[in-house]
Structure 1
Amino acid sequence: MEPLFAAFICFIKAHSSILFGGFFGGIIRAILSKTGTKGEKLMGGFMACLVSYYMTPIVVFIVGATIPVSSISFIIGILSMSLVEALISIGRDYQKHPGKLKADIRTIILRVLAAKDDTK
């Protein structure tokens, strides 16, 4: 029940800390990035802010309330640009080869369903 309550508090009280943590996480990620213009890096900070705003309550629900919410949003802000770049890469790959994504998903599902327990 405590993780659910912590996720609810993220939606109610901690808006500014989530937004600031995500924004500065995205800015630090943009500073460390070698590619992109200054405008792209600044927009990366805002994108990280939005991603951390929506993902922080989910991560707080999964992890629990043992870690401060602002530090979770900061970490999500740093990782969010990598997540966005990966999703864009998957989308471009799907645009070039539409059948490949379906085959990859099918392979993953078959591996999960066909996994055998070797601990007998």
Structure 2
Amino acid sequence: MKNKVLGQCPVCNHQLKITRLHCRHCDTTIEGSFELCKFSRLSQEHKDFIDVFIKNRGNIKEIERELGISYPTVRNKLEGVIEALGHSSVPITSTNKKDVLESLSRGEITAEEAVKLLKE
């Protein structure tokens, strides 16, 4: 089993930098200071959620089924990933409200879930 690249220091939880790259094929080694991509810095929980999200092509109903969670929980997990990637969370606007109501009309969420989302 191969080790995964760590994005954060297990001691102090700060961001790590890669200082050496090595090719096993030609035995070339490159030293320097290399940045990790922002996805490397995500928690394993966030990475697992992204995997399920992509596998289900963003279909919230399928994500709910696979993970056994409700629409608001899927939404909260997605917001967590968005924030962890350094993007700002989007407050509910009239467009977001429309999305909630459309999800309700398609049966993707319950009336209770819609009310909760609209109150956030």
Check whether TM > 0.5. no
Larger radius of gyration: 2
TM-score, structure 2 length as denominator?
Answer: 0.25
TM-score, structure 1 length as denominator?
Answer: 0.25
Q: Which has the higher strand share?
A: 2
